[in-house]
Amino acid sequence: MHDEDFCCAVCLDFFIEPCIIECGHSFCHLCIASHLNINEKCPLCRAHTGKPIRNRQLESLTMSYISSRDLSNTYYERMKSNKKKLLLQNKALLIIWSELNNKPGQSTELCNLVKNVQDQELKSEILWQVKQQVGVGLEHIGDLETETVTIRLKTSRQ
Ligand SMILES: [Zn+2]
Ligand SMILES: [Zn+2]
């Protein structure tokens, strides 16, 4: 057994909550979820894929490898921070998609997406996710660096 048997090809670190996709490749939950938000293909073999499924067998193998190598402390720190990032990302995307779906013409100014958000971390995550989604699920009219830029759902998703 080697380190690389338990490593994710996206973050190059040990799997955290590994998920398997249709082609049979596995990645950390956070790594594959972030990737699939902007690209529907496998990061390794580029096969089209649907929703990732938790790979519990690989998860327990990774966990026993981690504890046999005495790496638990750093592993659990990463696990905590991954869970937090995933939650933040999901919250940000939920705000973006629900705001746009409820607007006439499915468009709004960027400032409307963040105006009721008190949490600074969530606010910057929303701004970051909007930039990530431009050209994928969203398009913009105006200067993306200003909060008055108009954001709207892309009419044809590839
Ligand atoms: Zn990863
Ligand atoms: Zn693959």
Rounded to the nearest whole angstrom, what is the distance from the C-alpha of residue 2 to the centroid of ligand 1?
17
- The overall average pLDDT reported for the chain is 94
CA distance 144 to 57: 43
User: At what angle are helices 29-38 and 120-133 packed, to 10 degrees?
Assistant: 50
Ligand nearest the Cα atom of residue 9: 1
Segment 3-21 shows an average pLDDT of: 95
Ligand nearest the Cα atom of residue 40: 2
pLDDT digits (tens, 9 = 90+) for 134-145: 989 999 999 988
**Is the model's pLDDT at 11 over the cut of 80?**
yes
Rounded to the nearest whole angstrom, what is the distance from the C-alpha of residue 124 to the centroid of ligand 2?
31
Domain ranges of the chain: 1-70, 91-158
| DSSP label of 157 | -
Rounded to the nearest whole angstrom, what is the distance from the C-alpha of residue 76 to the centroid of ligand 1?
14
Rounded to the nearest whole angstrom, what is the distance from the C-alpha of residue 130 to the centroid of ligand 1?
22
Ligand nearest the Cα atom of residue 20: 2
Ligand nearest the Cα atom of residue 82: 1
**Is the model's pLDDT at 1 over the cut of 90?**
no
Q: Does domain 1-70 have CATH number 3.40.50.300?
A: no
Query: In the CATH hierarchy, which top-level class contains the domain 91-158?
Result: mainly alpha
Are 149 and 139 in contact by the 8 Å Cβ rule? The answer is no
Q: What is the pTM of this model?
A: 0.89
pLDDT digits (tens, 9 = 90+) for 34-68: 999 999 999 999 999 999 999 999 999 999 999 99
From the list 156, 148, 150, 137, the residue with the least C-alpha distance to 107 is: 150
Are 109 and 99 in contact by the 8 Å Cβ rule? The answer is no
In CATH terms, are 1-70 and 91-158 the same topology? no
**Is the model's pLDDT at 158 over the cut of 90?**
no
